[in-house]
Amino acid sequence: MVKFAVYIFPIILFCWLSAHGYIISGTVVDDNGTPLTDACVAISINQLAIAYSTTNAAGYYEFGDLTTPAMYTLTPSKPLYSFLPAESYAILVSTDIAGKNFVGIQIGRDEGGSIDVDGTVRTYRIHVPEYFSAEKKLPLVILLHGYTGQGVNMEQLTLGGFNALSDSERFIAVYPDGILRRWNDGRNTDWTSDDTGFISRLIDSLKSSHNIDDKRVFCCGMSNGAKMTIRLAFELPDKIAAFAPVAGANLAMPFYTYPADHKPVPLLIINGTADPSSPYTGGPITFGNEVISTTGTIKYWVEHNGCNLEPAVEWFDDLYPSDGTRAWKETYSSPAGADVVLCGILDGGHTWPAGFQYTSESIAGKTCRDISANNVIWEFFRDHCNYKIAGYVHDSVSRGIPSATVTLYGPDGNTIAAYVTGENGYYEFNRLARSTYTVTCGKDGQTFSAATVTYAPLDGDIENANFYNSNGLADNKLSVYTWPNPCRLDENSSIMFKGLPGRCKLSIYTIAGELVNSIEVTSPTGYYRWQALTDDGQAPASGIYIYHVKSLDDQTLSATGKIALIR
């Protein structure tokens, strides 16, 4: 009888709970005890969110009619806040549970803003990280909402995740508002707002007001915002370093004509195979004709960007089997850094992975919980900046060397690009990701000091990556003579140095090694006149002196010689 009672108890309890729903509730306040309104509390079983509750003016939230006996997890979120505890647990058995309270601590700050675009006022929300200072340049992430949404809805969709990343990773997040709650992504000629112009001017405005790093501007979007992200990839590749459309990246044909000569750009696409609004296999969509398939879209970008045709494929761990999805990644690497990555969600819907389930699963489809779109996107952005390596190939007197070949290699030693210098000796490599690069310089009959340079990793622009022909000083092209009369040194004469590096340090010593004078020389022509004076303006005695020349740009370039001063 004892065994029988233990065996049937869960069945009796389940049936009883199924007939009597219970409530889990609590409050959310700030660290001063003030109620936090519009905080979002998620309730989940086995890490799968089953419902959301938004706090009222008293900071109160409630989940009612709970009938399944289980351990529930409660997780609060609100833009600009972190919470103690970060999550709470409730084991529901046979009674209501109250007092599951949270305290929110404010971090960072949100600002509202607007700019004028050809007479139209355009608005946006912006999140800047805690302790923000315009003295230090930070990256910018632009997040574009979906159809019928606004910037605030994009914050909600990501569960404030990009604001939290903004605080921890130190970047600025901006949430623009589309006119009439939509973006002119090019698929409908009735939509005439200049949204490309708006985003372009927004970048310019934030560069002025917040000193953003214009080499690290990124854009992502959801649904209609994803298609607008694709349009920007075609039209603003010089202002935005990388792009990440979610649930709407398939190319729209033929109602939007994409420019054929656009630049390759790093692109991350996140699409679900069961998306009811933007079909993975292509076909008709709302407010437009058709889109091509995700496979066709990836093929277009891979070929356009010159990526490897065979991707590296990996499946993410199925952390939450109950969500009914699996996630995988295909990486098509580009020698030039314009990688194309597909993050596919098997059986995923028109949703943001690990984001807010903004409508029912029967309408939008399933939300993958195995990966976080927020984290996947930021990691992609972080590694795909718009850096450059540039400089000059000079001779020993800083004159440009034409027809020198400067070659850029990737981390695995593969050749990415080669640049042949013009008359001024200048070279430049653009749109480089954060990675390891090696640069070499060569020309027949020429020897270059430090002819191979490695950047591990490249973490910003390099604009003075200069190479110098080491033949000049090494082959005694440096000459020294008395000017203007090479046969006489008097109070009106100088010692002329010819063939100096463009920037160098010239030091004069006595034969005993005592310093007479030290001069930093800047001379594009390679000439410098030393007035034959000590560092305190005195005329040195007649005798033998040692001069030493050392380049300030190339520490391996130097020369030493003797001069005789006879007065």
Q: What tens digit of pLDDT does each residue of 448-486 get?
A: 766 788 988 887 888 888 887 765 554 446 788 887 776
- Decide if 57 contacts 138 (C-beta within 8 A): no
- Decide if 171 contacts 141 (C-beta within 8 A): yes
CATH code for the domain in which residue 481 is found: 2.60.40.1930
CATH code for the domain in which residue 129 is found: 3.40.50.1820
Give the residue carrying structure tokens 């990256």: 139
pLDDT exceeds 70 at position 155: yes
Are both 355 and 424 inside the same structural domain?
A: no
Are both 363 and 422 inside the same structural domain?
A: no
Angle, in degrees to the nearest 10, between helices 195-210 and 224-235: 80
CATH code for the domain in which residue 51 is found: 2.60.40.10
Are both 33 and 117 inside the same structural domain?
A: no
Looking at 426, 454, 469, which one is the last position of a domain?
469
Say what the pLDDT of residue 489 is. Answer: 65
Which is more confidently placed, 101 or 513? 101
- Decide if 530 contacts 508 (C-beta within 8 A): yes
Q: For residue 293, what are its two tokens? A: 């398939």
Task: Compute the distance between CA of residue 365 and CA of residue 208 in angstroms, rounded to an integer.
Answer: 41
Q: For residue 559, what are its two tokens? A: 């020369």
Q: Among residues 310, 433, 314, 331, which one has the least CA distance to residue 371? A: 314
Mean pLDDT over 479-507 rounds to 79
Are both 219 and 300 inside the same structural domain?
A: yes
Under the banding of pLDDT at 50, 70 and 90, the label for residue 4 is very low
- Decide if 48 contacts 366 (C-beta within 8 A): no
Say what the pLDDT of residue 330 is. Answer: 98
Are both 479 and 529 inside the same structural domain?
A: yes
pLDDT exceeds 60 at position 298: yes
Looking at 47, 75, 106, which one is the last position of a domain?
106
Q: Is the peptide bond before 353 cis (omega within 30 degrees of 0)?
A: no
Number of domains in the chain: 4
If DSSP codes are grouped into helix, strand and coil, which group holds residue 427? strand
Are both 8 and 123 inside the same structural domain?
A: no
Say what the pLDDT of residue 17 is. Answer: 40
Say what the pLDDT of residue 114 is. Answer: 92
Q: What dihedral angle (degrees, nearest 10) is formed by the CA atoms of 360, 361, 366, 369? A: 50
Are both 352 and 436 inside the same structural domain?
A: no
Task: Compute the distance between CA of residue 75 and CA of residue 164 in angstroms, rounded to an integer.
Answer: 15
Angle, in degrees to the nearest 10, between helices 161-169 and 373-382: 40
Are both 255 and 113 inside the same structural domain?
A: yes
Q: How much of the chain, in percent, has pLDDT values that exceed 90?
A: 47
Are both 418 and 561 inside the same structural domain?
A: no
pLDDT exceeds 70 at position 1: no
Say what the pLDDT of residue 541 is. Answer: 87
Instruction: State the DSSP code for 227.
Output: H
Say what the pLDDT of residue 176 is. Answer: 97
If DSSP codes are grouped into helix, strand and coil, which group holds residue 361? helix
Convert the pLDDT of each residue in 78-104 to its tens digit.
876 778 887 888 887 678 899 999 998
Convert the pLDDT of each residue in 528-563 to its tens digit.
889 889 988 888 888 889 998 888 876 667 788 888
Range of the domain at 494: 472-565
Are both 144 and 278 inside the same structural domain?
A: yes
Say what the pLDDT of residue 110 is. Answer: 67
For every residue of 254-306, DSSP letters joined together read TTS---TTPPP--EEEEEETT-SSS-TT-EE-TTSSEE--HHHHHHHHHHHHT
Under the banding of pLDDT at 50, 70 and 90, the label for residue 296 is very high
Are both 296 and 155 inside the same structural domain?
A: yes
User: Looking at the DSSP assignment, which residues form a beta bridge with residue 454?
Assistant: 438
Task: Compute the distance between CA of residue 171 and CA of residue 168 in angstroms, rounded to an integer.
Answer: 8
For residue 183, give the amino acid letter.
W
Say what the pLDDT of residue 300 is. Answer: 94
In 443-542 the beta strands, taken as DSSP E runs, fall at 448-449, 452-455, 467-469, 479-483, 494-498, 503-510, 515-522, 527-530
Are both 306 and 168 inside the same structural domain?
A: yes
Task: Compute the distance between CA of residue 53 and CA of residue 520 in angstroms, rounded to an integer.
Answer: 69
Please give, one letter per residue, the 3-state secondary structure of 164-187: HHHHHHCCEEEEECCHHHCCCCCC
Looking at 320, 351, 382, which one is the last position of a domain?
382
